[in-house]
Amino acid sequence: MPLIHAICATCGVQYEASETPPEVCAICADDRQYIGAGGQRWTTLPAINGQHRNIIESVAPNVYAIYSTPPFGINQRAHLLVTPGGNILWDCITNLDQSTIDLVNGLGGIRAIALSHPHYFSTIVEWSAAFGDVPIYVNALDAEWLGRRCDAIVEWTGEQELWDGIRIICCGGHFPGASVLHWPAGKGSLFVGDTIQVAPNRKTVSFMYSYPNMIPLPKTAILQIQAAVQPLDYDAMYGAFGLYIRGRSASRHAVFRAALPRDLSVGLGLNLPACEELKQEGKHHHTQRTHSVQPQEADVGKP
């Protein structure tokens, strides 16, 4: 039987060569993802090439979004950053064909690939090989999720400078090694993957352990993400799904001022305005209502 590099049809991550695909995709079996209602499905890169093509869209000076149409897998966008020191592919998509390679080479090729987290590991080994075995930066804390490995993979921890002050910074949260990329040119740009999720209002962000399964992160993880990006200057934030925040509202202060009080109140049940109003109402006007009963009163009459 010929060997194939199986690709999970749900998350788009490619696995090592085998005669038959793995039983399940480890990434989709994890509680941050899901296996589709029809069960585990596999495909291959030639099959995807036949059904999808890629769009390379200019979204800002020297920033291109790369995504597939019709959508494939998680439907994230990779971003090509055209920098004087060489181009960076931030995150990755599964579909890679000759016309994509030609177009990207026309923009200067790729010097390095960097990943925000395992959901976008896709076909990183194919992309690296197509552009001259360029290094693939994968946070060491998440390397166990690699479906396919090659010698170009560079494992890093904490913070890693690529060149010219461009850094990838580990924030944790969504995954232990979940990261962002900071490009200081101009007023600065922050590429956030799923580490910080840009909301459709393009004003606020959120932070989740699982986006598809809607599992929130604990307060400590959100504060850790905030602390990791706090020293960075930027006026543009690029999410993984075509949602971008630009200008003053993208700054660290504005984004976190809007998001933190709301996200940190989830699960604590203490600071939500509705609860506060109810408490006030109970104290002043309706002391007999159950929600204002004091613990000592509740103990009265116990045996």
Which one, 130 or 192, has the nearer CB to Zn ion?
Answer: 192
User: Which stretches does DSSP call E strand in 173-249?
Assistant: 179-183, 189-193, 197-198, 205-206, 208-210, 215-216, 236-239, 244-246
Which one, 42 or 232, has the nearer CB to Zn ion?
Answer: 42
Which one, 77 or 119, has the nearer CB to Zn ion?
Answer: 119
Supply the minimum distance, in Å, between the C-beta of residue 67 and Zn ion: 16
Supply the minimum distance, in Å, between the C-beta of residue 138 and Zn ion: 14
Supply the minimum distance, in Å, between the C-beta of residue 174 and Zn ion: 6
CA distances from 115 to 71, 142, 254 (A): 20, 10, 26
Amino acid in the structure at residue 127: W
Supply the minimum distance, in Å, between the C-beta of residue 13 and Zn ion: 5
Instruction: Count how many residues are written for the chain.
Output: 303
Which one, 27 or 245, has the nearer CB to Zn ion?
Answer: 27
For 130, phi then psi, to 5°, come to: -70, -25
Which one, 6 or 89, has the nearer CB to Zn ion?
Answer: 6
Q: How many CB atoms within 10 Å of residue 249?
A: 16
Which residue ranges make up the site for Zn ion (CB under 5 A)?
8, 10-11, 25, 27-28, 119, 194
Supply the minimum distance, in Å, between the C-beta of residue 30 and Zn ion: 9
DSSP label of 92: -
